[in-house]
Structure 1
Amino acid sequence: MYEDFASDLAVTMWAEFDQTPTRNESTPEITDLNTIVVDGNFPWTIVTVETDEGVTGIGEAYPSPGVHEVITDYLRPVLVGENPLDVERLYYLMRGSLSGRGSQWGIGTIAISGVEIALWDAVGKILEQPVYQLLGGKMREEVQVYADCHAGEAMVSSAQEGQEAETYQPEAYAEAARMAVDDGFDMIKFDLDVPSGRDVNTLSRHFDGVEIEHKRSIVEAVTDEIGGDAEVAVDLHWNFSPETAERLCRAIEPYDLAWIEDPLPPENTDAMRELKRRVDVPLLTGENRYGRHGFRDLIEGQGVDFLAPDVPKVGGIAETKKIADMAETYYQALIPHNIGSPVATVATAHVGATVPNFVALEYHAREVPWWEDLVARDEPLIRNGRLEVPDAPGLGIELDWDVVEEHRKT
């Protein structure tokens, strides 16, 4: 009963926003939408858009509970029968159909993002063009990929019993960083909001000098180990107050980091801009912003040095390109957030190929040995810290559905 109500409601909302162009017999149509969740280091939500051309587009939505229901109960009845070639119109149609239900922020935008990526893949396959060509052509043949190289919990599975605490010490981070560099990455990142072994009131976001020193010692150990072999960045995951973030930034300033990510909670651009004014380190944020409207104040106010939209979360491929275009007018660059499967990763690479102000793309699955196996191809996607943008139609990759099924969660 609920699904019928949701479907009827979605169709009613759709009717208010429908501006469907006149069709002819040769116009392709969307026949179905669905999702599959792959049990990776995050629940990767693969989105499929089927068409009457025999073409299936694949996309990916950011891991979030309820995405499947939004896509199948609300977006499917709106999009089935529509022309998949009208990606921009369908993006606004989806936003309109979810008006008041998260189409501006949150789960609605996430669901729309996954479908939008799948639409681009379908369009590219129908027109026999790679996505980057549909976006205006590529400026670079490959994009730089930076590696998350966490110690801590990410290394507990490989630690000896009773040695878990040691995984949070500077030496463990230096070892993890060296492993990533030896794998060919010349840009790496690691978390700095990690436990020191002391009992700390983390809810206050205030940390004393001993905690600051623990974080500084990790940065020192990593940069001493890596030297000039790679650029090093750190992620604070919004866990510091302005005063603590400022003290921490000053403490690690001598180590010439590539950037410090999310030093403050994401809601207050004024606080981020003030921190940027007070410290002499590059700052990055953006993974918790939605759409170009969510980035406007960061861009216009020069709140950070680098922006980190997440393609399967922010609104999809075209919306990320629009954010990049806005940022370019203020000479800001993109370093997109990415915790996804190869689908999200390649989708982001297509954006990176088409804009001038693209620095690097995050890769967050080094601990997943079958990540590359999800793609039906002989050569790995990522080699020596680079991803060559595929030239085949659409996203340019196909999933190995046997591997997908092997690791399928739902």
Structure 2
Amino acid sequence: MKITGLETFCLEYRMPYPLTYARGEYQSREAVLVKVYTDDPDIVGWGEAAMWGGPFDTTVAVLEKQIQPLIVGHDPRRPEYLWEKVYQETYYHGRKGILLSCLSGIDIALWDIMGKASGQPVWRMLGGFGRPLRSYASSGYYRRDYTVDDFAADVSQARAAGYLGYKMKVGNMASAVHAGVLHETPMRVSFAEDIARVEAAREALGAELDLMCDATTSLDARTAMAYADQFERLGIRWFEEPTQPENITGCAELARRTRVPIAGFETETSKFNFAALMDAGAIQVVQPDVIQVGGITEARKIAAYAQMRHLTFSSKNYSTAVSLAACINLLYALPNADYFECDMDPSPWREEFLRSPLFLSDRGMVEPFDRPGLGLDIDEAALEAWRVKA
């Protein structure tokens, strides 16, 4: 079997209302899917490359003009080899950032192909630990015309839906580390107002379920410590991305001073950077983004190192059904997998281009499946409703 080429799908969706967090406000969701073709017309692979606000044409150019020539003609059932080939041939400028995000999309598609070619789900090919996963609802942004009572009602709905936890945004303060540049971010709150939001969420969720707080890399270490003191009182399950990922010293000091586990960093890339964070004691919940960190091949190495250090592993999941499938297959394969994130914000891409659901949840638990590859049944024609030109 040989790779014959790839196709990119640039998607855009206008949400019914804007979402605000400490780094800005957005109302459009964007995604880049990758379809890798083989010389077997019955076997193609689907992947997703993180672009998170970057220009479509930049991501597409890296995929089509830089990575595609490096993999065409090669056997797609060698994802480890092709990952290393692309990484080494782009080494001088591609070790972080956009190239690794684009490589993520290719790598995920190759694992999809390998699973389909062998008739096995990807999670089983990765080791097949196969434990059902706990799921948590993820939302809790700052929103216009959205009171604390409205927010608490949404948290209560997530509880009623059976989720075992809830994750919310915090840290949208005037003293955020990037506020001097991202000064137009609306809805800045005081520390006391932010803690009041967390208290409302805790009351709505109840003491027995898990509440997580995500500062999206927005705080200096001292401010993060003030938050962590309150989070201890409120029984927060983890404090996600409290500092910027390069502030390893500050994050490690925070981790030493609090009993709340520190989670991160979805904005970081490569096993080397995650090893540095773990070695410093800066994170206790290891949480990359599969579509940004380098794909399944890189993420599973990070997960293995986390297991060696007796740390739990999770993964960001906040985009399309393709990234969701990559995330859930990886987590099913791991003995140290923690929660599975379920994005609750407006998006048609979790289900509407699938002919059948990827997974079913029973009382907050998500069971492994036996469908080959990533387990996706994509209706390609349905993608046209959101497809835009790069």
Q: Smaller-chain TM-score range?
A: 0.7 to 0.9
Rounded to whole Å, the distance in 2 between the matches of 1:112 and 1:369 is 25
Out of 94, 98, 111, which is 1:107 matched to?
Answer: 98
1:29 aligned partner, one-letter code: K
Q: 1:363 aligns with which of 338, 342, 345?
A: 342
- The answer to whether the Cα contact below 8 Å between 1:151 and 1:176 also exists between their aligned partners in 2 is no
The partner residue of 1:170 within 130, 145, 148 is: 148
SS in 1 for 2:297: helix
Greater Cα shift, 47-56 or 280-289: 280-289
Per-residue CA deviations over 1:264-316 (Å, capped at 9, x if unaligned) read: 11102111110111223221111121111110111222212111110011111
Alignment of structure 1 residues 319-358 onto 2, 5 Å: 319-358=298-337
The residue number in structure 2 matching 1:18 is none
Picking from 356, 359, 379, the partner of 1:377 is 356
Structure 2 contact 167–211 (Cα < 8 Å) conserved? yes
Query: Is the contact made by 1:321 and 1:351 (CA closer than 8 Å) also made in structure 2?
Result: yes
Write the letter of the residue equivalent to 2:152.
A
**Structure 2 residue aligned with 1:277, among 256, 259, 271?**
256
1:89 aligns with 2:81: yes
The equivalent residue for 1:32 is 5
Q: Which amino acid aligns with 2:38?
A: T
For residues 87-142 of structure 1, the C-alpha deviation after alignment (integer angstroms, 9 at most, x for no partner) is: 1110111112222232x1000000101000000101111122211222122331x3
How far residue 381 of structure 1 moved from its aligned partner, in angstroms, is 4.8
CA distance in 2, matches of 1:252, 1:86: 45
Pair 1:261–1:317, CA change in 2 (3 A): same
Q: Aligned partners of 1:73 and 1:225: how far apart in 2? A: 50
Structure-2 residue corresponding to 1:70: 62
Q: Does 1:148 align with 2:138?
A: yes
Alpha-carbon distance, 1:70 to partner: 0.5
Any stretches of 5+ residues in structure 2 without a counterpart?
Answer: 14-27, 181-188
Is 1:186 the counterpart of 2:164? The answer is yes
With the length of structure 1 as denominator, give the TM-score of the two structures: 0.83
Q: Aligned partners of 2:248, 2:360: CA distance in 1, in Å?
A: 36
1:227 paired residue among 172, 195, 206: 206
Question: Is 2:33 aligned against 1:46?
Answer: yes
- Rounded to whole Å, the distance in 2 between the matches of 1:279 and 1:138 is 32
Identity %: 28
Distance 2:363 2:10 in 1: 29
- How many residue pairs match? The answer is 362
Please tell me whether residue 129 in structure 1 is matched to residue 107 in structure 2.
Answer: no
- Counterpart in the other structure of 1:292: 271
In the TM superposition, what is the alpha-carbon distance from 1:172 to its structure 2 partner?
2.8
User: Given the two structures, how large is their TM-score scaled by the length of structure 2?
Assistant: 0.87
- Spell out, residue by residue over 1:145-195, the C-alpha distance to the aligned partner (whole angstroms, 9 max, x if none): 221132533xx4xxxxxxx2xx2x432321221122222211110111236
The structure-2 alpha-carbon separation of the partners of 1:183 and 1:273, relative to structure 1 and needing over 3 Å to count, comes to: same
Structure-2 change in CA distance of 1:203 and 1:86 (3 Å): closer
3-state DSSP class of the match of 2:338? coil
Partners of 1:87 and 1:116 within 8 A in 2: yes
User: Is residue 117 from structure 1 mapped to residue 104 from structure 2 by the alignment?
Assistant: no
CA distance in 1, matches of 2:333, 2:367: 13
Question: What residue ranges of structure 1 are gaps of 5+ in the alignment?
Answer: 1-27, 157-163
What secondary structure, in the 3-state scheme, does the structure 2 residue paired with 1:178 have? helix
User: Would the aligned equivalents of 2:49 and 2:105 in 1 still touch at CA under 8 Å?
Assistant: yes
Q: RMSD in angstroms over aligned alpha carbons?
A: 2.1
Residue 20 (structure 2) aligns with: none
Q: Which residue of 2 aligns with 1:387?
A: 366
Change (3 A) 1:383 1:401: farther
**Cα contact 1:128–1:393 (8 A) shared by 2:** yes
SS at match of 2:352: helix
**Which of 22, 30, 46 is 1:58 aligned to?**
46
283, 295, 302: which one pairs with 1:304? 283
Q: Is contact 1:232–1:257 with CA below 8 Å preserved after alignment?
A: yes
Shift in alpha-carbon separation, 1:44–1:317, aligned structure 2, 3 A: same
Which residue of 2 is the match for residue 213 of structure 1? 192
1:10-29 Cα offsets, whole Å, 9 max, x none, are: xxxxxxxxxxxxxxxxxx11
Higher helix share: 1
Amino acid at match of 1:402: A
Contact 1:34 1:68 in 2 (8 A): no
Distance change >3 Å, CA 359–CA 211, structure 1 → 2: same
Measure the CA separation in 2 of the matches of 1:403 and 1:189.
30
Measure how far apart 1:69 and its partner are.
Answer: 0.7
